[in-house]
Structure 1
Amino acid sequence: MAPVTRFVLIETSHAGNVGATARALKVMGFDDLVLVRPRWPDVLQRPEAIERASGAVDVLQRARVVSTLDEALDGMTHVCATAMTPRDFGPPTRPPRGHFEALVARGLPQGVAFLFGPERYGMSNADVWRSHVCLRIPTAPDYGSLNLAAAVQLIAYEWRQTIGGWEASDRVSPPQTALLASQRLADAQAVAGLLSHWAQALTAVGYLDPAAPKKLMPRLQQLLNRAQPTEAEVHILRGVARAMLETAARAKR
């Protein structure tokens, strides 16, 4: 059985692009669409979205609008940003096909999320840093501008081909139905909570200066993304943070 696949649109400006994205997803057999802070709160019901969906209105009806990326990533264990411009810091930049083949080789994640930024300026650095990889679609060197829905279609196609077309259940080992916490990977929301806890603890012991944090927390984010901690390991690390806070509080008495 293929992993849970989610497509996340961040601060989308044009309702028509949301409808076209729904159509692109349905063509490839996906229907998990989440919008983070779109320009129009009622974007899923706007005429432009329904018209561009062209038969994929059911995908729009299932879609959700949320206020934070954390909410959108609930349950996801592998996060893929999309950006045409390489970043000087953050996750590695890779072509979709090569990265997907590597995922299959080492075992598919439980949940995969694909993030797409605003049409005008793309993903923010902060959102890219949340990701395990930055996917860059190979394009002509002198012109790499892609419409949002076109980019979604390309990623959805490559991912569908990777997980086995319409026979994914026959080609991928079925997941265990009752994994222990020591075996289940922590989702993106759990990792974000851990980082927030550690930021408090590191500040309390004087290691992190909130006024000049530099890139300590994004670097810790990337470390955790590479490590892919389990739920049990996240609980252990949060226990360490809790002990640091308690020790710092006692030292001030």
Structure 2
Amino acid sequence: MKLNCDVGESFAAWSMGCDEQIMPYLDMANIACGFHASDPDIMSRTVALAKAHRVSIGAHPGYADLQGFGRRSIAHTTAQITHLVLYQVGALQGICHLHQTRVDYIKPHGALYNDMMKDIQLYDAILKAAHILNLPLMILATQRSDYLQRAQHMNVELIHEGFADRRYDACGQLTPRSHTDAVIEDIEQFSLQASAIIGKQPFKSIDNKNIQLFADSLCLHGDNPSVQRYAQRLRQLIDDHQQ
């Protein structure tokens, strides 16, 4: 089990998250590519930070929505979605070349991620970009055979992701952030859900149904006010399970 986090989401003089404090706990860093957050200077600083801590670098492309932090869906054609992802990943690859490192995978951000998990054509458009770039794609841990088959057909490796700080519905989808209990803010409830996902054990959905996920990586959101404390707890839980 790997620990990943969305980082590099500051913009110019505006600061988001505490990347320097949490990077030592991470295995994978999902770095914003300038459309929902970040800018070239922030991208460069975050890549350098990830490299210094030997953390795998992932591109975190989103909709062109700085004001909405990429959490608003924007209509695109499938070709435009492919171009959107290629453009942003390419920008991060350029910054990585500067630091003599590389992008290891793609993880869409926010509404683009959610839309990918609901719209098979949008998913295909992102798969196409991942295939062109020969990069793995991170998606929500799911047993949907059509998603798995499409990735195999495109020869794209999937990284299945679980969330320790978000509530799920009974179908294994993330509860929309508009719901009052969508984000888990209690550290003990957070730990219980994380432990279940790490151990591939059932846990309760937001509607009190048992669900089970088979994830390769656990995500922690970098904009969580208690992210450093949560990162420490997740690192401990993952390390304890692997001993």
TM-score computed with the length of structure 2 as normaliser: 0.35
Which is higher, the Rg of structure 1 or of structure 2?
Answer: 1
Which is bigger in relative contact order (C-alpha 8 A, separation at least 6)?
A: 1
Structure with higher helix content: 1
TM-score computed with the length of structure 1 as normaliser: 0.34
